[in-house]
């Protein structure tokens, strides 16, 4: 009996680590794509914008700052993946992830905008910046959302695993 309980706990921990990996990879992948969008002038800011409220100096706008921004976004994305897991993991569809990504865009560009001085308000952004940034957030939300939901669905429905809420 104790052995079954131990297996259930290990499987649940395995799901937790899977969500963390999904978040880290999603953050790293899509912030790297954002860095390329910044490099090719689709958006006027790169991943280093995340460092703006905390880091001093011009180094953060250079290559080192961009790479550290990618790492910071990847680490923050672990928390984002757990937030998705808690709120929406039971929905096995692409739409909750798309909506989640758009809501994240709204939070960053409307609610948290005062933290980031180098980003124009959304009313002053050009069409390329709006389209590119919204698209990046939507595919980021889709990646994290569908990956977490798929893993949740596979473990609960197909394998019969009990995942703690």
Tokens of 118: 């180098």
Q: Count CA within 13 A, CB hemisphere, residue 102.
A: 7
pLDDT at 144 over 90: yes
Tell me what pLDDT residue 129 has. Answer: 95
Cβ–Cβ under 8 Å, residues 116 and 49: yes
Mean pLDDT of 98-107: 97
For residue 57, give the 3-state DSSP assignment: coil
């Amino acid at each position: 009996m104790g052995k079954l309980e131990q297996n259930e706990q290990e499987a649940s921990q395995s799901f937790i680590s899977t969500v963390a990996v999904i978040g880290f990879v999603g953050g790293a992948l899509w912030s790297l794509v954002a860095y390329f969008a910044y490099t090719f002038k689709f958006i006027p800011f790169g991943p280093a914008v995340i460092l703006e409220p905390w880091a001093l100096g011009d180094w953060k706008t250079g290559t080192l700052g961009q790479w550290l921004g990618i790492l910071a976004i990847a680490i923050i994305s672990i928390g984002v993946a757990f937030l998705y897991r808690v709120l929406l993991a039971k929905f096995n569809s692409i739409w909750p992830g798309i909506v989640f990504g758009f809501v994240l865009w709204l939070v960053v560009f409307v609610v948290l905008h005062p933290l980031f001085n180098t980003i124009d308000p959304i009313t002053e952004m050009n069409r390329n910046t709006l389209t590119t940034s919204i698209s990046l957030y939507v595919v980021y939300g889709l990646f994290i959302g569908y990956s977490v939901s798929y893993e949740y669905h596979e473990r609960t429905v197909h394998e019969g695993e009990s995942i703690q809420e």
